[in-house]
Structure formats: structure tokens, C-alpha cells
Amino acid sequence: MLAGIWHNLVDYLLPPVCGSCGEAVQGNQGVCADCWGQLTFLGDPCCQCCGYPFELSPGKDALCGDCQGRPKAFDCCRAALSYDAYSKDMIIGYKHADRTHLTAVFAQWMSGAGRELWSSVDVLVPVPLHPRRLLARRYNQSALLAKALARQHGKAFAPDLLLRRKNTVSQGQLSSNGRWRNVAGAFDANPARKVGLEGQNILLIDDVYTTGATLDACSKVLRKAGAGSVRALVLARVLREG
């Protein structure tokens, strides 16, 4: 009862606002009705590997052109949203502007997007930040999402299973090929946490999928360390034109 009173008082003094436009919203809705209508949620049919959406279903095991040309080290990836003009500011604000109150609603969306994955997951692992970047930002948005999803589905959460050894430049500044070169060798498995990893089914959690380079680099490290399978779940993904 006291917790309920406290939350009501906080909502009265600091009303929750839409993560996109800043208008007041009810409870933990995250976005207002107008902004909700502008978001593009993703689902089937899609590439069996990376989850890129297809307009028409080409078959159950179909792969997109990118996955055919550059096979990925992860088994599959699914995304909740399209990363576009309507979701971009909301996600950037979550990453860089302390809008961590959006964790609950983002995790809810991701949970639905990954509904086919939960039965075969043992442990959730967030894509790590380099310690310098973590110190500057104060939190890892991927870890917040992974923790919320692990609690929601009763799964193990391993925030330090992966380490980021290289303080790479931001992927947003780079070309597609540059992104792959940038993260090559950037990650390593934590020696203190590798015991018990053998045969485990890992679900990698990240915020945005652009080329798949980061998830691929993390997956290679996890497979080398003995993971049984590596799947991925992201909040949003960039959709190519054409």
C-alpha cells in the first residue's frame, strides 16, 4: 500500500511524459496515442535470420539478400520497431538523455517481438559498453533492457559475461563496411564468467540493429567460449531502402 501511495505521489509531482513528443501520458504507457500511431512495429513475414521484414511471405526459411551474402554468427534476430523518423528521437533520448523510465514499455514491446525465442533461452546477455563510455553515460541501455526482460521471463541475467576491450568510435559515424571493421576484435568473454557457459542458449540484447556487425562480433565470441546457441533481440532496426 505504501509503495502504491509513493508511486502515485511521484506521478503527481513528476507526471510521466511521452518518450517521443513530451506530452503527459497515463502511467507507464511510454508514448501518447498520437505517437503510438506513428510507430512501425515489426513481425512476420521476415528474414529467418536477421528479422528483416518482407512484404510477402517467401517461405518459412527464407533469408534476405544481406544474410545470403554475409552469413551471420547468430542464429536469428528479432526487432520490435522500425528505427525511423518517428522512433529515432525516442530511442536516442533513452540512450543519451536519461529517459530510463521507458525501460518498462520498451521491454514489453521487445518481449512480444521475441515471443518465439523465450522457450529456448537460458541466459540474457546485453551488448556491453566500454568502461570509459559507461562512465560517461552512467548506464548501459542494453543492460537495462536485458535485466527487465530477464525478470519478466524468469531467465538468468549475465551483465558482465561479455566485455568490450576496445573503445571503438560510434558506429553511427561509419559506413556499412566500416562498422564491421570497427567492432572486429572489440569484444571478449569474461574469464571469470566463462565457467558454465558451455552449451548455454544465449539471448543477446541490444537497442538498435543497423548492419548486424555488433551482434555478429559478440556472437562469435560467445560461440568460441562454448555457447550452445546465440540468438538476438533488439528494440529497433534500420530498414534499408529498396
All domains in the chain, ordered by first residue: 1-36 (no CATH), 39-237 (3.40.50)
Please tell me whether residue 204 adopts helix, strand or coil conformation.
Answer: strand
Distance CA 223, CA 193 (A): 14
CA separation for the pair 159, 161 (Å, rounded): 6
Cβ–Cβ < 8 Å for 54, 62: yes
Asked whether 117 and 233 are in contact (CB, 8 A), the reply is: yes
- Is the predicted pLDDT of residue 71 greater than 90, yes or no? yes
- Average confidence score pLDDT of the chain: 88
Tell me the mean pLDDT in the region 58-83: 94
pLDDT of the residue at 59: 82
Question: Residue 182: what pLDDT?
Answer: 80
SS3 88: helix
Sorting pLDDT into bands at 50, 70 and 90, what band is 58? Answer: confident
* pLDDT reading at 8 higher than 60: no
State how far the Cα of 39 lies from the Cα of 30, in Å rounded to an integer: 12
For a pLDDT cut of 70, what percent of the chain falls above it?
90
Residue 207 sits at the vertex; the CA angle it makes with 146 and 166, to the nearest 5 degrees, is 90
pTM of the predicted protein model: 0.89
| Residue 9 predicted with pLDDT over 50 | no
- Mean pLDDT over 42-54 rounds to 95
Residue 130: is its pLDDT beyond 90?
yes
